[in-house]
Amino acid sequence: LALALRRNKLFLFGCSSVLRRNLSVLGSTRSMASKTPVGFIGLGNMGSPMAKNLIKNGYPVIATDVFPECCKELQDLGAQVVDSPAYVAEKADRIITMLPSSPNVIEVYTGSNGILKKVKKGTLLVDSSTIDPAVAREMAVAAEKMGAVFMDAPVSGGVGAASMAKLTFMVGGLEEEFKAAEELFTCMGANVIYCGQVGTGQAAKLCNNMLLSIGMIGTAETMNLGIRLGLDPKLLAKILNMSSGCCWSSDTYNPVPGVMEGVPSANNYQGGFGTTLMAKDLGLAQNTATNTRTPIPLGSLAHQIYRVMCSRGYANKDFSSVFQFLREEEAQ
């Protein structure tokens, strides 16, 4: 009897070991299944670090950019680089786009070599560009006709947050598809917020950027006035950042050279979020405000300031160069 019990115990132990191995294999298979290739189109200042973070998290990336030289660094990290958005759509059933403007998005999705020429049914399409909410809705309709799902998911946080995977995603689309996309967003960002139907992500982003531009201009004006009144800029920034005037533009992205390290103002306003892009976003905000009959006096003024900056040689500089612009204006 004792011998029989020992044999049964050994048999059960063997079955348990086999079961554990099978469960381990199953878990591994599920994990690998979730790491299917992700397409990424648009490898600029924001897209490149976002795609790198996908690779860091074990996702195979299939990438393309209108400027092939932008792909080299990602290719060195193991990404597969292809020639067109259509070819990306052939290879991946989850695709992220990060592009400069509405016309770029329309071309990448619906152009002769666009995603929708080769997209597979059931593909999840996520656009993280900042565009007109109406264009996002148009792309969703076009994608639906091809059996694909489109979501708008613009981001906030800038290049630094993109590099550190600390972006905020504002997501618009079908709620039942949100979880599938969230898996990818959490590899690239720290905050993922579902906003509602397609286009609401863009609406949230435009509101954020309008406030950002107003805050940056206000910070630049304040710092410039304090300097003219004899205050040390670092001291003034310290006071602002422990007082009621504190804001992101003063404590995280200060526009005055020498106040902070690691921001565009410390690098002749190179990198970061370009003045041209800020002017574009403010133009979108202005259009939506007009269409909804919403008064935005400070937003409209900020739009005009950034448009003037674009015509005065600041187009390719970071939007915080408004401080330099104001300093040069006072010298005239």
Sign of the torsion angle spanned by Cα atoms 27, 173, 168, 73: positive
Query: Where a domain ends, among 182, 197, 212?
Result: 197
- Contacts of residue 166, defined as CB under 8 A and 6 or more positions apart, other chains included, come to 157, 160, 189, 190
170: left (phi over 0), alpha (psi -120 to 50) or beta: beta
Say whether both 31 and 127 belong to one domain.
yes
| Low-confidence winner among 8-22, 52-66, 209-223 (lowest mean pLDDT) | 8-22
Total count of domains within the chain = 2
pLDDT at 10 > cutoff 60 = no
Residue 179 counted as domain residue:
yes
205 is a catalytic site residue: yes
Surface-to-core class of residue 253, CB atoms within 10 Å of its CB (0-12 exposed, 13-18 middle, 19+ buried): buried
Model-wide pTM > 0.75: yes
Cα Rg, the chain, nearest whole Å: 25
Task: Compute CA distances 149 → 63, 84, 119, 210, whole Å.
Answer: 20, 20, 10, 29
**Domain range for 274:** 204-327
CATH number of domain containing 280: 1.10.1040.10
Say whether both 137 and 223 belong to one domain.
no
pLDDT score of 329? 82
Bridge-based pairing state of the strands 189-196 and 61-64: unpaired
pLDDT score of 229? 98
pLDDT at 78 > cutoff 60 = yes
Name the active-site residue from 205, 234, 238, 280: 205
CATH number of domain containing 132: 3.40.50.720
For 261-274, the pLDDT digits (tens) are 999 999 999 988 99
pLDDT score of 271? 85
